Amino acid sequence: MLQILIQGLLLSGLYALIAMGFTLIFSVGRVLNLAYGAYLLIGGYAYFYFSQQLGLPKIAGVMLAGVLGCVLGLLKYQLLVKRVQGVHSAVEIATLILAVVLQSAVVLIFGDSSKILLPIVPGVERVASAAIPYSNLVATIISWAILIGLYFFVRLTHTGRAMQAVSMDAKGAAISGIDANRINMITWGISGTLGAIGGVFFASYTQLYPGMWVAPLIIAVAVVIVGGIGSIIGTLVVAHIVGFMEIIVSSWNPELRGVFTMLLIILVLVLRPRGLFGREEIH
C-alpha cells in the first residue's frame, strides 16, 4: 500500500507538469495543439544528447532541453499556428503533421531503437517496504516547484493577468491595450518549456524512443478534459486521480493501465462536458 501511495504521488506530479502546458495553450490561444507531445519527444532526446552523448552535467541537460522546447514552441507559433489560427481544423491537422515530422527527424538522427536515460540522481531511498528512486523524487520536486511558480506567475504578475484576460476574451483584451500576439508568444514558449522538461522526466521514468510522445499527449488531453480546460486546480487534482489509478490498475494488470484513463474521458464527456472544474479561461 505504501509503495502504491509513493508511486502515485511521484507519477501524479509528472502528469500535472505535462498537462499544464497543454491546458495553457488551449485556454489562452484556443488551439488544440496535437504536436504538444513533440515537445516531450524533443526534450527527452535533447537531454540524452547533451547529458549522455556530450557529457554535460545532467542539470545542464535538463535546462538546455527546456530552452530547446521554448524555442520550438515560439517557432511553431510564429511560423505555423499564427498563420492558420482562425481555422481550428487546420491548426489541429498542421500540428499533428508537425509531430510526425519531428518524430521522423528523431529517427533519422538517433535511430528507431529505444534508449535508457541514466538517472538524473542515482540511488534509491527505502521507506519501510517502499523503494523511492532519487531520480523520480527529484523529478517530482522540480515538477511541483515549476507548477507552484507557474500558479503564482499567472495569479500575481502583470503578464499572468494579461494571459487570464486573453483567455477570457481575446478581442476585449486587445481593446483594453493588451498585445494578444505577445501573450500568445509567451504562452507557447512556456508550454514548450514545460513539455520539454516533462519529456525528460517522462523518458527517465519509462524509456526514450521515437513514438514516446503519443502516450503523454493522451494523458495531457485526458487530464485537461476531465479537470476542465483552463483550470489549474482541476489539472492538479485530475492528474493525481489519473496517476494514482494508473498505479493501482497496473499493479493488478499492467496491460489495462491506459484503459481507466480512456473510460474516465468518456464518462466525463457524457456527464459533465465542461470538466469537473471547467471553464475555458485560466483560473
Cα(224)–Cα(240) distance, integer angstroms? 12
The mean-pLDDT minimum among 5-9, 113-117, 238-242, 262-266 falls in 262-266
* Phi/psi of residue 203, nearest 5 degrees: -65, -35
The mean-pLDDT minimum among 64-68, 118-122, 191-195 falls in 118-122
Cα(199)–Cα(39) distance, integer angstroms? 7
pLDDT-based confidence at residue 190 (cuts at 50, 70, 90):
very high
Q: What is the pLDDT of residue 129?
A: 67
Of 72-76, 164-168, 220-224, the range with the highest mean pLDDT is: 72-76
Helix, strand or coil, per DSSP, at residue 133: strand
Going from the C-alpha of 85 to that of each of 32, 78, 89, the distances in angstroms are 10, 10, 9
- For the stretch 44-47, contacts whose Cβ atoms lie closer than 8 Å and that sit 24 or more positions apart, written own/partner, are 44/117, 44/199, 44/200, 44/202, 44/203, 44/208, 44/212, 45/106, 45/109, 45/110, 45/208, 46/196, 46/200, 47/117, 47/199, 47/200, 47/203
Going from the C-alpha of 78 to that of each of 122, 181, 253, 281, the distances in angstroms are 39, 9, 44, 22
Cell 499567472, residue? 154
pLDDT at 283 over 60: no
- Which residue type is seen at 41? L
